[in-house]
């Protein structure tokens, strides 16, 4: 394979020689390491779809960690390798080596754990996208990642170096049937994986109050998270008299995907629900309190982000205006 870059990618002499000898149809075994939570796992679907096109005859092994099991794209891979993070010492390294010999390993985790998995397993070519070029010790090819562009594009760079052109807009083929309700609905998700990512709940209440009054033709659904601290029923008392506002209790990942797929628009914090909306091509407004903002901003699609440059929490009016502008755009395109 010819390597299609001049600068911005590091490659060892061995890696260059090996890559140039590889022929895409002859690549038989490929492993993808992705130890990530639900939202990032969902976005990885696009890489796996494009990987199949780039290496059409490869048996694909997908490595996941036992502490991140939600949303594994089993429909897109041939084998799932499970790294049990509860293991220690020798059993842990033996478990790492279960990845088996590969033609190519793509490390899309870029963690200490995933780097050592690359080190202890044999492969003709090991490709990573760490933040620091100093971490090249673990790989043959390094395509540095950055928080300044969409995460999916960063992963796809590992295929572009071989001259492969991914499809645009991105395709995720996210399984699941959209939820159907009597009225069209806007979905809100008020929590996140950590509290530091959460827009203040009183501002979410203010936003939903204003949205429900301004847009009565929509039902306004609030999805609860699975954590005990994510229960919002006690903080939503001001909305109980709103006939077009409804709280949905936590459910399975499949249920969550169905709810997101059926929505006209999703408004949420920086969390997996918004990533699901991106993969399902459902318009979204993401409220960000902390970086990285641009890592989760697709370059194509109806997705807005709202944040203050000083890191403070945006006010209700700012999020409302963004939501209204996006809704007007959607309705103009699909009256």
Q: CA neighbours within 13 Å on the CB side: how many for 231? A: 4
Return the SS3 of 96. Answer: helix
Rounded CA-CA distance 141/266 in Å is: 38
pLDDT at position 194:
87
Could you tell me if 143 and 207 lie in one domain? no
Residues above pLDDT 90, as percent of the chain = 84
Could you tell me if 319 and 277 lie in one domain? yes
Helix ranges (DSSP H) in the chain: 13-21, 38-54, 89-97, 112-120, 151-160, 201-214, 253-262, 272-279, 316-333
Could you tell me if 14 and 77 lie in one domain? yes
Q: Which CATH number does the domain housing residue 28 bear?
A: 3.40.50.2000
Classify residue 169: in a domain, yes or no. Answer: no
Could you tell me if 105 and 226 lie in one domain? no
Rounded CA-CA distance 37/270 in Å is: 13
Domain count, the chain: 2
Query: How many helices (H) and strands (E) would you count in the chain?
Result: 9, 13
Q: Are 144 and 8 in contact (CB under 8 A)?
A: yes
Full-model pTM: 0.94
Could you tell me if 218 and 311 lie in one domain? yes
Band (pLDDT 50/70/90 cuts) for residue 335 is very low
Band (pLDDT 50/70/90 cuts) for residue 239 is confident
Could you tell me if 49 and 135 lie in one domain? yes
Could you tell me if 40 and 153 lie in one domain? yes
Which of 242, 312, 307, 300 is CA-nearest to residue 269? Answer: 307
- Greatest mean pLDDT among 92-96, 239-243, 315-319: 315-319
Classify residue 304: in a domain, yes or no. Answer: yes
Band (pLDDT 50/70/90 cuts) for residue 332 is low
Classify residue 24: in a domain, yes or no. Answer: yes
Phi first, then psi: what are they for 96, rounded to 5°? -60, -40
pLDDT at position 334:
59
Among 122, 145, 160, give the residue marking a domain's end.
160
The whole-angstrom distance between residue 322's C-alpha and the CA centroid of its chain comes to 22
Residue 210 to residues 130, 207, 263, 283, 306, Cα–Cα distance (Å): 43, 5, 18, 19, 17
Q: Are 67 and 85 in contact (CB under 8 A)?
A: yes
Q: Are 225 and 37 in contact (CB under 8 A)?
A: no
Classify residue 36: in a domain, yes or no. Answer: yes
Band (pLDDT 50/70/90 cuts) for residue 263 is very high
List, for residues 197-223, the tens digit of each pLDDT value. Answer: 999 999 999 999 999 999 999 999 999
Classify residue 262: in a domain, yes or no. Answer: yes
Rounded CA-CA distance 121/3 in Å is: 24
Could you tell me if 151 and 25 lie in one domain? yes
Q: Is the pLDDT of residue 39 over 90?
A: yes
Could you tell me if 139 and 203 lie in one domain? no
Could you tell me if 296 and 259 lie in one domain? yes
pLDDT at position 333:
59
Q: Is the pLDDT of residue 120 over 80?
A: yes
Classify residue 4: in a domain, yes or no. Answer: no
Classify residue 1: in a domain, yes or no. Answer: no
Tell me the average pLDDT across 177-191.
96
Band (pLDDT 50/70/90 cuts) for residue 102 is very high
- Give me the chain's average pLDDT, please: 93
Among 111, 145, 160, give the residue marking a domain's end.
160
pLDDT at position 288:
96
pLDDT at position 236:
76
Question: Between helices 253-262 and 272-279, what is the axis angle to 10°?
Answer: 60
pLDDT at position 261:
98
Question: Where in the sequence is the domain holding 41, given as residue range(s)?
Answer: 10-160
Among 107, 127, 160, give the residue marking a domain's end.
160
Could you tell me if 156 and 39 lie in one domain? yes
Tell me the average pLDDT across 256-264.
97
Band (pLDDT 50/70/90 cuts) for residue 230 is confident
Cα three-residue angle 199-298-320, rounded to 5 degrees: 35
Could you tell me if 253 and 312 lie in one domain? yes
Classify residue 168: in a domain, yes or no. Answer: no
């Amino acid at each position: 394979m010819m390597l299609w870059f001049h600068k911005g990618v590091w490659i060892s002499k061995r890696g260059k020689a090996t890559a140039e000898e590889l022929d895409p149809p002859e690549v038989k075994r490929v492993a993808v390491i992705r130890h990530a939570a639900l939202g990032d796992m969902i976005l990885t679907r696009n890489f796996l779809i494009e990987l199949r096109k780039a290496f059409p005859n490869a048996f694909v092994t997908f490595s996941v960690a036992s502490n991140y099991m939600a949303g594994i794209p089993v429909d897109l891979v041939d084998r799932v390798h499970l790294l049990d993070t509860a293991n220690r010492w020798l059993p842990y390294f033996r478990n790492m080596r279960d990845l088996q010999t590969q033609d190519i390993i793509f490390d899309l985790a870029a963690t200490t754990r995933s780097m050592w998995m690359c080190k202890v397993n044999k492969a003709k070519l090991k490709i990573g996208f760490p933040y620091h070029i100093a971490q090249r010790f673990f790989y043959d090819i390094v395509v540095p990642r950055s928080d300044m562009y969409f995460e999916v594009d960063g992963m796809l760079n590992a295929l572009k170096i071989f001259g492969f052109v991914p499809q645009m807009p991105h395709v995720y083929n996210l399984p699941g049937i959209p939820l159907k309700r009597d009225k069209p609905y806007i979905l809100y998700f008020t929590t996140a994986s950590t509290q530091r990512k959460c827009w203040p709940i009183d501002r979410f209440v203010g936003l939903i109050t204003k949205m429900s009054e301004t847009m009565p033709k929509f039902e306004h659904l609030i999805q609860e998270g699975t954590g005990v601290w994510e229960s919002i029923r006690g903080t939503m008392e001001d909305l109980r008299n709103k006939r077009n506002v409804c709280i949905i209790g936590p459910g399975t990942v499949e249920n969550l995907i169905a709810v997101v797929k059926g929505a006209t628009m999703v408004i949420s914090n920086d969390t997996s629900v918004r990533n699901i909306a991106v993969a399902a091509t459902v318009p979204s407004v993401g409220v960000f309190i902390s970086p990285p903002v641009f890592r989760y901003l697709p370059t194509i699609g109806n997705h807005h982000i709202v944040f203050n440059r000083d890191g403070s929490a945006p006010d209700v009016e700012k999020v409302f205006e963004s939501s209204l502008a996006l809704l007007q755009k959607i309705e103009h395109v699909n009256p």
